[in-house]
Amino acid sequence: MAFTVCQTFGRKFAEEPDKMSGTRVYNVTSTTDITDLNDVLDAAALPDIGDAWDSVLTALVAVQRTPMEVQKELGYYQVVVDYETDETLADWKVDVRTVRKTFAPQRTLAPFSNAPTDPFSAGRYLSPAGNTGAAGADDLVGYPLLNRASDPFEQPPKIDFYQQRIILSKTVSQLSDLGDSTITGMESIVNYLGCMNSDTVQIAGLTGLAWTFLVDDISFERIYRADGTYNTKITLQILFDNTNTHASAVLNAGYRETYTQQDGNTGIRNIPDKTGKVTRKPALLDTEGKAIRDFDFPKGSTGISDPGGPPYYICFPLRQEIEFAPLELPETWV
């Protein structure tokens, strides 16, 4: 069969917030008789299913071709080609919102028996997942966060503050189409749930150091196609806290301090005041667990000048950290 094809009047295009659609109409002339109307679709110049609208709107693809008789005796036909957005070709959809983060006391999920015995390792200890106590009594009880003299911390002031919730969604034909080659299925995606970024990363125009991004929620939705198969819409919700991070920073203070014994070893004692008596007030501790005794405002000071010594915080990364790069998340807003 020999066909002549040319595009004719009837082209339509519509753009909505979440999708695009379009229609093109083609005149087809056949030099031979057509007995099966679908034979008209064999014309080589017609767009095929899946072809893009043009080189700019590559996500708008042909989804349906409808042949119609115009003047069969003269070999005149028309083909209406409908286009719709192929979500699997579209980029990430991004929504950024501001939410309030409420202060909440923190603890680890490991049993007390797994608490570090060395106070200098307390701030670097991340509890292993799934640990259980010997008799099961300590399961998920947790152990207290300790200062550098291995004492509990004073409760810090409790305030609410704000952070951003980044909502990212993308539709893929296969789950392995998300990210790089290390993303092979649902399990490798949900492994990010509850994890912080391990290094500096930029997401949707927001740049944060390690521990500032936290994957708070992951959802999967089947989007069925006409042939019975389905695409998958993946939605990630990521919390961005650029000020406080998602690790727990606790003031290094307590009632005891470390000191050097006569034999040269390090010991722990109750903190004495200037007269040598044991104080009943918690003191700030330095990075070695010793009390900072000169942390006083000068006489007559308004509190603006240097108070004489810095307070120290210990950062407890209670959540697992992971590299975000394999997900290939959108880096810029534009």
The per-residue b/e assignment along 108-147, b for 16 or more CB within 10 angstroms, e otherwise, is: bbbbeebbbeebeebbebebeeeeeeeeeebeeebbebbb
Question: What are the φ/ψ torsions at residue 4 (nearest 5 degrees)?
Answer: -120, 130
pLDDT of residue 315: 73
Over residues 79-102, the pLDDT tens digits come to 999 999 888 888 899 999 999 987
Place of tokens 């609410």: 160
DSSP β-ladder status, 313-316 and 76-85: unpaired
Whether residue 229 is predicted with pLDDT greater than 80 in this model: the reply is yes
Q: How far apart are CA 253 and CA 286, in angstroms?
A: 9
Whether residue 308 is predicted with pLDDT greater than 50 in this model: the reply is no
DSSP H or E segment with residue 256: strand 256-260
The per-residue b/e assignment along 74-91, b for 16 or more CB within 10 angstroms, e otherwise, is: ebebbbebebebbbbebe
Query: Looking at the whole model, is its pTM more than 0.75?
Result: no
Give the pLDDT band of residue 124 (cuts 50, 70, 90): very low
Q: Which of 15, 12, 39, 10 is nearest to 27 (CA)?
A: 10
- From the number of C-beta atoms within 10 Å of its C-beta (0-12, 13-18, 19+), residue 40 rates as buried
Q: How far apart are CA 281 and CA 270, in angstroms?
A: 11
- The better pLDDT of the pair 116, 220 is held by 220
Q: Per mean pLDDT, which range of 236-240, 246-250, 284-288, 300-304 is the poorest?
A: 300-304
Over residues 2-42, the pLDDT tens digits come to 899 999 999 999 998 778 999 999 999 999 999 899 999 99
Counting Cα atoms < 13 Å in the Cβ hemisphere of 219 gives 9
The per-residue b/e assignment along 208-236, b for 16 or more CB within 10 angstroms, e otherwise, is: bebbbbbbbebeeeeeeeeeeeebbbbbb
pLDDT of residue 19: 84
What residues contact residue 155 under an 8 Å CB cut-off, 6+ apart?
none
Q: Is the C-alpha dihedral spanning 203, 207, 211, 212 positive or negative?
A: negative
- The better pLDDT of the pair 323, 247 is held by 323
Q: Per mean pLDDT, which range of 166-170, 185-189, 269-273 is the poorest?
A: 269-273
Determine contact, residues 119/147, Cβ cutoff 8 Å: yes
What is the share, in percent, of the chain residues with pLDDT greater than 90? Answer: 52
What is the distance between the terminal CA atoms of the chain, rounded to a whole angstrom? 49
Which amino acid appears at position 180 of this protein? D
Q: How far apart are CA 92 and CA 169, in angstroms?
A: 6
pLDDT of residue 138: 33
Whether residue 295 is predicted with pLDDT greater than 70 in this model: the reply is no
Give the pLDDT band of residue 126 (cuts 50, 70, 90): very low
- The better pLDDT of the pair 72, 293 is held by 72
Mean pLDDT of 116-138: 37
